[in-house]
Amino acid sequence: MSDNHLDSAVLAALQDVMEDEYPLLLDTFLADSAERLQGLRQCLQQADSHNLRLAAHSFKGSCSNMGARVLTDLCKQLEQAARLEQLGLAGVLIEQLELEFASVSSLLQEERCRY
């Protein structure tokens, strides 16, 4: 699974550490990420730059921990856009996050099926 979307070395390390709980970690990340994306969209709709920045920062950490490289980078960009109150750019970035999450989600579901 070594591609731009996920760092296979990070996933392998997580699998080693989590052992039997690894599938639960994948499930939790997928569910949590879907909720986080909904929260980002809600902050944008409310033009709440402050909470959008905080939510993007938190999601960035979660994505980084899972080795989701592109998601991490997009969250970093979104965090910066929110800091600068560039809500138009933030909307574009959230759309990109949603598309990238669809790819990551598919890959992680495949990974999940292996266990």
The separation between CA 93 and the C-alpha centre of its own chain, rounded to angstroms, equals 12
**115 confidence band (pLDDT: 50, 70, 90):** confident
φ, ψ for residue 7, nearest 5 deg: -90, 110
The residue ranges of every structural domain in the chain are: 8-113
pTM to 2 decimal places: 0.94
Phi-psi bin for 86: left (phi > 0), alpha (psi -120 to 50), beta? beta
- In this prediction, residue 2 carries a pLDDT of 46
**64-101, pLDDT tens digit by residue?**
999 999 999 999 999 999 999 999 999 999 999 999 99
Please name the amino acid found at residue 71. L
**9-29, pLDDT tens digit by residue?**
999 999 999 999 999 999 999
CATH class for the domain made up of 8-113: mainly alpha
